[in-house]
Structure 1
Amino acid sequence: MHPILNDIRLVTFDLDGTLVDSVPDLALAVDAALAELGLPAAGEENVRDWVGNGSLVLMERALRSAIKAYGEVSPKEVPDGALLERAHVAFLDHYGRDPGAHTRLYPGVREALDALRNRGLILALVTNKPYAFIAPLLEGLGLAEYFALCLGGDSLPEKKPDPAPLRHVAAHFDVSAASCLMVGDSRHDIEAGRAAGFRTLAVPYGYNHGEPVHDSAPDGVVESLAELV
């Protein structure tokens, strides 16, 4: 096993950009929501840089970009609360119809989860994705059996990069922070893990707003989760 797992009892994973590439489905839902408002599509490349802070922030970024695309002829300036709420509701509706249609596991994920589970480690999931979408995705990909606890971005008042969700997981299983590892793809995961007192491990292939995740100074980086085996 990877040395970063020494003395670790609980491993908490991020979802989007760490275990699964969900951007194709997220982008379709974002563009469908924008179309309902008569705004131009964002496209998958942009959405890939906007993911990570939950669905409301995702739609706020999409709206700001779409409105800016109109330039000075735009009748709108920045998304007000009512417009953002409409866009967010539309996004949730479109995404909820089939959140896993085009979402795929990254290479090495299942092998890593199997190995960690077989070693007797507790596995948990902490994502900023709304909780309602977690089960359909995990079940569709055959991952539901691996996680003893799942938290979404709306499960607690706080979400990553706030450390509260990670502290909640550690307390739930009565495991000290020093025996916990946070695995993610973005600075939000690393910041949350560090603030919670967890060891941190990053993967460089996910979504980090176009920034190298190495810059967040995680305790370790692996090119594939298969390296944990």
Structure 2
Amino acid sequence: MKYTHVLFDLDGTLTDPYEGVINSFKYVFRHFGIDEVNEEKLARFIGPPLGNTFRDEYGLTGKDNERALEVFREYYADRGMYENRVYDGIEDVLRQLTDSGINCAVATSKGQAFAEKVLEHFGLARYFCDIAGSSPDGSLSEKADIIAYVIAKHSLPKTKTLMVGDRKFDIIGARENGIDSLAVGYGHGLWEELDAAKPTYYCRDMESLAAFFR
């Protein structure tokens, strides 16, 4: 394989956080008195920075935006992060890569501390040389910036580094950093979204992802 370093998104790529994220959103909406019951709509918010979602979709700005993030994290820290599941087959893919000498890291918009706890909880942290997420103060939150941080921190060769994710933010972030991308179709990104983002590669399911790295 031409790549020596592979960066993975977390939500929708390594684990399916659907239940915990949806319940965390509902907890925020109860706090603010927002009437939102469309879970299909909420599922589209798995992956992008939370602050952007609360601002762009629900008009929560300034102090309200900060409070929405706090309330979301209250539920998520207590229960939401564990209302989650590892995608069947992804650990085999990670084991295959590390056994082949490929260096793997995580680049996620999820909060750094939450990402570390989720991966430790599910026994996946051992496959990664680094777990990079958004910072508590919001200074590091956009996917492109998080990818850039990992590349710079480890002096990764861009021609040999691949970003794997399920949303357009992963694909666009990779392109902005001059690295190739692989979109997976088993997560929360719709095909139309991923196709429009123009990933370097596309794997519809876990079987094709495993075959890609074989």
TM-score band by shorter chain is: 0.7 to 0.9
Match in the other structure for 1:208:
189
In structure 2, do the counterparts of structure 1 residues 151 and 161 end up closer, same or farther at CA, with 3 Å as the change threshold?
Answer: closer
Q: How is 1:24-39 mapped onto 2 (pairs within 5 angstroms)?
A: 24-39=19-34
In structure 2, do the counterparts of structure 1 residues 115 and 80 end up closer, same or farther at CA, with 3 Å as the change threshold?
Answer: closer
Name the CA distance, whole Å, in 2 between partners of 1:189 and 1:109: 18
Structure with higher Rg: it is 1
Match in the other structure for 2:7:
12
String of CA shifts for 1:2-26, please: whole Å, max 9, x gaps: xxxx221110000111111112101
Match in the other structure for 1:226:
210
Instruction: Quote the sequence identity (%).
Output: 28
Is the partner of 2:81 in helix, strand or coil? coil
User: Which one-letter code corresponds to 1:171 in the other structure?
Assistant: A
Gaps of 5+ in 1: 1-5, 65-77
Name the CA distance, whole Å, in 2 between partners of 1:192 and 1:91: 25
Match in the other structure for 1:217:
198
Match in the other structure for 1:71:
none
Q: Give how far 1:159 is off.
A: 3.7
Matched, 1:103 2:84: yes
The count of residues paired between Structure 1 and Structure 2 equals 209
Gaps of 5+ in 2: none
Q: Are the aligned partners of 1:100 and 1:140 in contact in 2 as well (CA < 8 Å)?
A: no
Question: 1:197 aligned to 166, 178, 193, which one?
Answer: 178
Question: 1:52 aligned to 47, 52, 55, which one?
Answer: 47
Larger % of strand: which?
Answer: 2
Q: Give how far 1:57 is off.
A: 2.3
Is the partner of 1:50 in helix, strand or coil? coil
Please give the TM-score of this superposition, normalised by the length of structure 1.
Answer: 0.82
Q: Are the aligned partners of 1:48 and 1:209 in contact in 2 as well (CA < 8 Å)?
A: no
Measured on the aligned residues, the alpha-carbon RMSD in Å equals: 2.1
